[in-house]
Amino acid sequence: MLIPEVHYRLAFTHSIWAFSQMINAATHYRLDYPDLALILALVRGGSLARASQLMKVDVSTVFRAVRRLEGALGQQLFEKSRAGYLPTTLAQSLAEQAERAEQALEAARIGVEQGGVVISGTVRLTCTDSVLQGLLLPALARFMPDYPALTLELSTSNDFANLTRRDADIALRLTCAPPEHLVGRHLADVSYRVCASVGYLQSIDAAELEALTWIAPDGFLPDHPTVAWRHQALPGVMPGYRCNSMLSVTELVRAGLGVAALPDFLIGDGLQAISEPLPGCDTALWLLTRPDCRALRSVVTLFDELGRALRLS
């Protein structure tokens, strides 16, 4: 019978050996693309059943593959919960690498089919919702089909900090003074005019602006030039509707609920200008990026395409 001290030493030695074996296994195991595809399928699916559908295998095959991979790596990849299989930090990181590999493989396939250089990768683009709806979407519909391997992530924001924080690679902004640390192209001059729907115009006297129902942005854009213009030119007007985006303002005008000061590129499709360009409201459309992005072929390609498609002047 082992005395306690000897038993403790043997147990400790066995634990060290087992730990070293686990480390060696994880160190010597070489991840392959099928491993990454497995992790990506389970991250995307969130369950064994959904992952098996994505991989076109049965559930037990996915279960055994995950257990075998975790054993080979010596680390847990997923935590099982009532919500499904939740990825650990390691699994999430590997899934992101798997997506890049997936995109690279797709780009290679397209390159073989087309017999030329393929622009691939992910580009993050930010703009306001009004620019997205009025200018960007029609432009993307024209040229993006030519770049099947290029992935575009879109976000709507009025904040230049998106580029500064490196949350985006390209920005489309309405401004007269773009930040000096960004690289950009002036695409067009933009004016604002008071607009109304054709239907609304039939029931009002367009010459009496103060008597009309006004639709305006709320406190989300306190420094918007149209807000300053209204306060100065029509100080007695209290808007009947306030919206948290210029796109919402436009849609309310289109619905015939009142009038608003809108940029040139949103006028049309049932909207009609009832004033000349508003003084002090002129701005410009800028296409902007960070200096370091000029080394990325995907960013440069999209930047150039947008520059050609959106040049309004």
CATH code of the domain covering residue 220? 3.40.190.10
Q: Residue 162: which domain range?
A: 119-189+284-309
- Specify the 3-state DSSP secondary structure of 45: helix
- Cβ contacts of 296 within 8 Å, gap of 6 or more: 121, 169
Q: Are residues 157 and 305 in the same domain?
A: yes
Residues 219 and 198 in one domain: yes
pTM above the 0.75 mark?
no
Last residue of a domain, one of 85, 111, 137: 111
| Residues 197-232: tens digit of each pLDDT | 999 988 888 788 888 999 998 877 777 888 889 989
Select from 92, 87, 174 the least CA-distant residue to 129: 174
Of the listed ranges 91-100, 124-133, 282-291, the one predicted with least confidence: 91-100
249 and 270 both lie in a single domain: yes
Q: How many domains does the chain have?
A: 3
DSSP 162: H
pLDDT tens digits for 31-82? 888 888 898 889 888 898 899 998 999 989 999 999 999 999 888 999 988 8
The residue that leads in pLDDT, 142 or 10, is 142
- 303 φ, ψ (degrees, to nearest 5): -60, -45
Asked whether residue 8 is domain-assigned, the answer is no
Residues 181 and 210 in one domain: no
